[in-house]
Amino acid sequence: MKVALASDHRGVRVRGQILVQIEELGHTAVDYGPQETKSVDYPDYASKVAEAVSTGLVDRGILVCGTGMGMCIAANKFCGVRAVTCHDDVTAEYSRRHNNANVMCLSADMLGDRLLGRIVEIWLRTEFEGGRHQRRLEKIEEFERTNGCARAAHEATEVCLNGAPQSSPVATR
């Protein structure tokens, strides 16, 4: 699985840990930065990962900021992105099992390293159940279509198919 990661300045250390963990679990990590702890605006980095997920450049994304909430709000503005904030084993598992979340947002300030590692592992290994949950996701997709996402998603796909996406990764691990 190909997983894009980004953070704001508060999540740089945690993102580094997660990058290593993803590779240890046998996945490919794409790092969208930032590389320094100098203050940055989280929407700038959330958009890089959300665009990569939305256009199919990567399978999933992980975002880290102080609380995880700002990143989650920004990422959910992209068509096809189902971003969630996870804070324990249960939210990590059920966000995948029932909601087929494709972007996970984490708090750099409120979660310990051991818990973060467990959340990431659970989220990456948990499969979507489908069934009654698929019907619900289809309703969400219909909301996107009726609110203009179909056109935006088509245009993003065209960019992806006909040329390099506009935001390219800082580094690939």
Catalytic residues: 65, 98
* Residue whose entry in the numeric block shows the structure tokens 């199919």: 56
Cα separation, 48 vs 33, in Å, equals 9
Backbone phi, then psi, for 41, in 5-degree steps? -95, 120
Query: 166, 159 in Cβ contact below 8 A?
Result: yes
Look up residue 164 and give its amino acid: A
For strand 28-31 and strand 171-172, is the pairing parallel, antiparallel, or unpaired? antiparallel
